[in-house]
Amino acid sequence: MSAADRPPLNPRARLVSLRSRALSPPCVKNPFKVGEHEECLIEGKVHPKQAQYRPAVGAKCASRYREEFHEIEEIGRGNFSTVFKVLKRLDGCLYAVKRSHNQLLQDSERRQALTEVQALAVLGLHEHIVRYHTAWFENDHLYIQMELCDGTLGSKKLNLMGTREKFLQEALRQVSDGLAFIHSRGIAHLDIKPANIYFSGGVCKLGDFGRATRLDGSISVEEGDARYMPLELINDDYGHLAKADVFALGASIFELARGSPLPSSGSQFQAIRKGRLPLLPGFSLPFQNLLKALMHPNPVMRPSPQDLLKHTLIRTTRNTN
């Protein structure tokens, strides 16, 4: 049916359709916002009609996702969500929309799912962080609209050895810049790995903030992938969360350099956490020593992202994508 043949939009029907959607729960407090006194919905002062999250009942619900976006293809799938490449009907631009696998029926489930949304909203725009646009609940699933990237470092093919080291040095510089910004806002990522480092137009960006927490320990810690976790997190020592991110970044670059996945257990897993890294044939000793510093067994001895940005290898890198 052409646009000319379509019946005129009935504003009243449209209003009823919108009202039939599930209401998003009131945000009692964004735990990543500290020292700000903006008005917000706080417990005991929520409008009566919004006091409790309620799914829509009765007639078939209108879908914001279907109304606003044209789904093109699935581009990613994780333990908790699926990511789709979509075209927004209103502006004609491409985006990524992440949809939770399971319906989030309990308040605790929704609060946990909102961790990524709240962290990204507080961080705002940064060149080396995947851009967040908006989020909503629909039929008890969480949808997050984000910047569409070209892929992740976990999927990128790294070819010639010399080019690989230069590329990884530049990736290390860019992600360190993003990580320094995240830490400056009092946030720890806690799930840095190649699959969560995106690239777009030659620019690396940190994404997937579902495990994010506050550096001051005021939010409970949800541990990420064991392959990139330092020994202190494995031992439930959460006193150096910023340096845990540094270890994970070093482990990610080390994995990309060696060209095969890191172990999740066993003797090699233990050796890496004791600072005994296998040699990387074809890579310079200064580069390998830098990775060893990032993955030092003692978190105090690891450089901060700011220190890393001042390192000779990092300062002299150029984008080789």
Cβ atoms within 10 A of the Cβ of 75, count? 15
Kindly report, as residue ranges, where domains of CATH 3.30.200.20 are found in the chain.
Answer: 26-32+61-148
DSSP run (H or E) holding 146: strand 141-146
pLDDT greater than 90 at residue 56: no
pLDDT reported for residue 217: 87
Binding residue positions: 98
CA 108 to chain CA centroid, nearest Å? 20
Task: Judge whether 190 and 211 are in contact, CB under 8 Å.
Answer: yes
pLDDT bin (cut points 50, 70, 90) of residue 35 is low
Res 223 pLDDT > 60: yes
pTM (predicted TM-score): 0.83
Residues forming the annotated binding site for ATP?
Answer: 98
How is the beta sheet containing 203-206 ordered, strand by strand? 151-152, 197-200, 203-206
CATH 1.10.510.10 domain extents, the chain: 151-315
Give the SS3 label for residue 65: helix
Q: Whole-angstrom Cα distance, residue 153 to residue 150?
A: 10
Q: What is the mean pLDDT of the chain?
A: 86
What pLDDT does residue 195 have? 95
Tokens 């990522």 belong to which residue?
189
Reported as a pLDDT band with limits 50, 70 and 90, residue 302 is very high
User: What percent of the chain lies above the pLDDT cut of 70?
Assistant: 79
- Which among 314, 264, 270, 316 is positioned nearest to 289, based on CA atoms? 314
User: What are residue 183's DSSP bridge partners?
Assistant: none
pLDDT in tens, 249-265: 999 999 999 999 999 99
The residue with greater pLDDT, 99 or 14, is 99
Nearest to 188 by CA among 196, 179, 177, 197: 179
Tokens for 43?
Answer: 């417990």
**pLDDT > 80? residue 36:** no
**The CATH number fitting domain 151-315, selected from 1.20.1050.10, 1.10.8.60, 1.10.510.10, 3.40.50.300:** 1.10.510.10
Q: What pLDDT shows up at residue 108?
A: 85
Both structure tokens of 106: 């309990």
Q: What per-residue confidence (pLDDT) applies to 30?
A: 83
Q: How confident is the model at residue 232 (pLDDT cuts 50, 70, 90)?
A: very high
Residues in the chain: 321
Torsion angle of the four alpha carbons 85, 89, 93, 95, in this order, in degrees rounded to the nearest 10: -30
Looking at the annotation, which residues are catalytic?
191
SS3 content of the chain, % helix, strand, coil (to 5): 35, 15, 50
* Spatial contact of 145 and 32, defined as CB atoms under 8 Å apart: no
What was the pLDDT predicted at 79?
Answer: 86
Given this model, what pLDDT does residue 316 score?
Answer: 74
pLDDT digits (tens, 9 = 90+) for 152-181: 999 876 654 557 899 999 999 999 999 999
Kind plus residue range of the DSSP H or E element containing 70? strand 69-77
pLDDT of residue 292: 98
Taking each helix axis from N to C terminus, what angle separates 285-294 and 241-258, rounded to the nearest 10 degrees?
A: 140
CATH 3.30.70.380 fits 26-32+61-148, yes or no: no
pLDDT at 47 over 70: no
Distance from the Cα of residue 225 to its chain's centroid = 13
pLDDT band per the 50, 70, 90 thresholds, residue 247: very high
pLDDT digits (tens, 9 = 90+) for 88-121: 999 999 999 999 999 999 888 898 889 999 999 9
Mean per-residue pLDDT, 50-55: 43
**pLDDT (0 to 100) of residue 171:** 96
Helical packing angle, 161-184 and 241-258, nearest 10°: 170
Yes or no: say if 83 and 133 are a contact pair by the CB < 8 Å rule. no
Distance of alpha carbon 125 from alpha carbon 205, whole angstroms: 11
State the pLDDT at residue 33: 81
Residue 40 has pLDDT above 50, yes or no: no
Unique residue bearing structure tokens 């080019």 = 163
pLDDT at 28 over 70: no
Give the separation between CA 230 and CA 245, rounded to whole angstroms: 9
Is pLDDT at 8 greater than 80 in this prediction?
A: no
Which SS3 state, helix, strand or coil, does residue 58 take?
A: coil
